[in-house]
Amino acid sequence: MNIQELNTSLVTLIQKKQELSKLSYNDERYDDVEEELHDLEDEFNDNFGEYLEDVLGDVHTQVCPDTDVLLPTAYLPEAMNAEGQVEITGKEGVWVEADAYPNKEARLLLVPNPMRIFLSVGKNVRQEVWKSDNSGR
């Protein structure tokens, strides 16, 4: 797996989500940007879905075995800051039942620069549960 290509595609996808979020439904560009976003999501899932679903499956097994794995695009944040980093708010990503945090709202979030998956619980817990390495895992 080419992790750099995956990271670049992830950044592009998040930037497009961010662009769309800044438009009102009445904006004449909204439908075009939304269509571009859907095309990018489809391409991302086609190119990296199998690999990321395996990674997410491993993470789910370790962190939240009772929660189903969704499409990788469900785990993406809505925005990045100017430095290309994601500020984890606890409201983005996929809701999971984390065994280590029973009865708490927990979420898994896939972030770029470098590629990582975080477990976010409430306002205080931000635990890195997976990080890509040079071998693609």
Q: How many domains does the chain have?
A: 1
Q: What is the mean pLDDT of the chain?
A: 93
The answer to the question of residue 17 being in a domain is yes
The answer to the question of residue 62 being in a domain is yes
The answer to the question of residue 99 being in a domain is yes
Q: What is the pLDDT of residue 91?
A: 86
User: pLDDT tens across 38-71, in order?
Assistant: 999 999 999 999 999 999 999 999 999 999 999 9
The answer to the question of residue 137 being in a domain is no
Pair 115, 94: CB distance under 8 Å? no
Domain that holds residue 9: 3-131
pTM exceeds 0.85, yes or no: yes
The answer to the question of residue 10 being in a domain is yes
The answer to the question of residue 136 being in a domain is no
The answer to the question of residue 31 being in a domain is yes
Round to whole Å and give the CA distance between 95 and 110.
13
